Structure 1
Amino acid sequence: MRKLLMFSVFGMIFLVSCSKNEEPKTNSDVMLKEPTKQEEVTAKTPEEEGKILIENASCLTCHKENEKLIGPSYQDVAAKYTDADIDQLADKIINGGSGVWGDVMMSPHPGMDKENAKKMVKYILSLKK
């Protein structure tokens, strides 16, 4: 009986010490980290800037460059769209959407600047094979 009591007490201590009482992050909290000065200096083209923006945003949670994750790969997106679709795709990054690649909805990024979204799209379209 004493062992059971000790096990229960240590189990409760372990659970309490491992739990965190922080607010869950929203899309806007993890959406976009500003590039550092070094990144701004080394990025010369909109495509390079777009790649940096993607790497610092929440995009890689659902997308990969060359394979499907939750959403389509960037290469699949590049194969489907052209430069004529840059505005439409930038709006989709900002507003979210669903139905084009299946039933899973893409989360909106309402705090995203449209020019930055366009740079991201230009980088994705540059991956066209």
Structure 2
Amino acid sequence: RQAPYVCKYVHSPEEIAQVHSPMDVATSKPVSQPVQHPPHPVHSPAVGEYSPTLASPEEMLFTFLSKHEDCFKCSLGSVYLWLQSEDIISLADLSDAVDDTDYVDSELTKNGLKKFKRGAFKIAVKDAAVAQA
């Protein structure tokens, strides 16, 4: 192992204070008072920011589908419209639908769900439905 690096120069406390404290530009001497930093801004939600408590069930379903878009072979819009045609308009409805294995294997996969993503999609739907409730 290598020994730790030791500075070969000896600095006086005044030199250290001068290097590590704010300087007054006019006098080039250390400022005795600490620097006042502005307070950190408080985060407030931006206009139009997604808020699940205020969103409709349709918006929540669409948001969920967009987060899991990689589970589908076709466009997100076509999957969403097809689900609406099947009267699946909320995460609770989708959760009920994925409980039926035959429905998932036949209808959902036929209409865009990737076969190798079925298990992960079912788990994600169940978790989202529980979180929403």
Same fold (TM over 0.5): no
Larger radius of gyration: 2
Higher relative contact order, structure no. (Cα contacts within 8 Å, ≥ 6 residues apart): 1
Q: TM-score, normalised by structure 2?
A: 0.35
Q: TM-score, normalised by structure 1?
A: 0.35
